[in-house]
Amino acid sequence: MGKQKLQDWVEARRRFRLSDAHVQMARELGMNPKQLGKVDNHDQERWKAPLPEFIERLYEKRFGRARPSVVVSVEQGAEAAATKKAARKEARREARVAGGDRPSSEGR
C-alpha cells in the first residue's frame, strides 16, 4: 500500500482519536480516511453516533463479529508488508541466480 495512504490513516487516527482496532475495522470496511469527517458526530448532530461506535456497528453488521480477531496497527502492518516484500524480492533474486543455467533463446 502507498506510503501516503498509510499516512492518511495515521492522521485520521490522531484527528478523530480512534484506536488501532477502529482504524483496522474502517480499513476493512473500505472507508476513506479523508472522508471520515463527514460521518463524524461534531457534537451538534444528536442523531449521529460517535465515529468509533458508527464504525463498530457497521463492522458487526457486515462481518458478524464485534472486533477483528487480530488487531494490527498501521505501523506494524506497514513493517510486516515491507519485510514480506523484501523476503519475496530476495527469493526471486536467488531463484534467478540458481536458474542461470537455462538454455538461451537463440534458436527462435
Tens digits of residue pLDDT in 26-63: 999 999 999 999 988 877 788 888 999 999 999 999 99
How many domains does the chain divide into?
Answer: 1
Q: Which domain holds residue 48?
A: 3-97
Domain membership flag for residue 43: yes
Domain membership flag for residue 75: yes
Q: How far apart are CA 96 and CA 98, in angstroms?
A: 6
**How much is the pTM?**
0.76
Tens digits of residue pLDDT in 55-103: 999 999 999 999 999 999 999 999 999 999 999 999 999 999 988 665 6
> Is residue 61 exposed (0-12), middle (13-18) or buried (19+ Cβ within 10 Å)?
exposed
Domain membership flag for residue 30: yes
pLDDT at 12 over 80: yes
Please tell me the total number of residues recorded for the chain in this structure.
108
The Cβ-side half-sphere exposure at 28, using a 13 Å CA radius, reads: 22
